[in-house]
Amino acid sequence: MSQEVLVLNSDFEPLNVCHMRRALVMVYLGKADVLHLHEADIPTVEGSYPSPSVVKLRHHVRRPLPELKLSRRTVFARDEYTCQYCGTSAKDLTIDHVVPRRHGGKTVWENVVCSCRRCNMKKSDKFLAQTGMKLRQPPRRPKYIPYISLTKYLTGRKNDVWKDYLPVFSDFAD
């Protein structure tokens, strides 16, 4: 029951990604309708039960527009878990300040990038011009604010069923 389920508002707007158990409870209580099913059923004492992949709430839920917070996870997701200096996708990724904090660089979207440890050590607390390193793309704040988390959005864009319900943003178009 570790599968995840996309939860849509009554107007088909993506609201959340929840665990299978929560989705089944919402369907059982009549709060949501199943739109798509996973291929595998859930075995129960009385047989098997179809497992939802996408559910839609029956009543509209009003939510304030969320704020996309700057965190390690969101920077890694924005940069697609790739070092912005050498282009490798390593497991030992770090956050690097383009303009070092020692030289007045702030921790803002436009100044932090995903970096592998080797490139981070090479750049250290120097400016890019001093090291001869170049960024693959300039860092910037994502232009959209999804209701679901950035990492769940990017993972969901790879799911063929969920892709139909998630809005396309120019920053992460396929």
In the chain, the amino acid numbered 90 is A
- Stretch 33-42: mean pLDDT: 88
φ and ψ of 43, to 5 deg: -75, 135
Q: Determine the pLDDT at residue 1.
A: 46
Q: How confident is the model at residue 112 (pLDDT cuts 50, 70, 90)?
A: very high
Element (H, E) at 15: strand 14-19
- Stretch 125-154: mean pLDDT: 82
How far, in Å, are 11, 31, 112 from residue 34 at the CA level?
A: 14, 10, 40
Q: Determine the pLDDT at residue 143.
A: 72
pLDDT tens track for 64-79 = 777 778 989 889 988 9
Q: Where are the domains of the chain?
A: 4-65+145-166, 72-131
Q: Determine the pLDDT at residue 152.
A: 77
φ and ψ of 6, to 5 deg: -80, 130
Better-scored residue on pLDDT, 171 or 91: 91
Spell out where 26-166 has E strands.
Answer: 32-44, 47-57, 93-97, 112-116
- Stretch 37-59: mean pLDDT: 87
Q: Determine the pLDDT at residue 48.
A: 83
Q: Determine the pLDDT at residue 23.
A: 92
Please give the distance of CA 139 from its chain centroid, rounded to a whole number.
17
Structure tokens at 81: 């878990």
What class has domain 72-131? mainly alpha
Share of the chain above pLDDT 70, in %: 91
Residue 173 confidence (pLDDT) above 60:
no
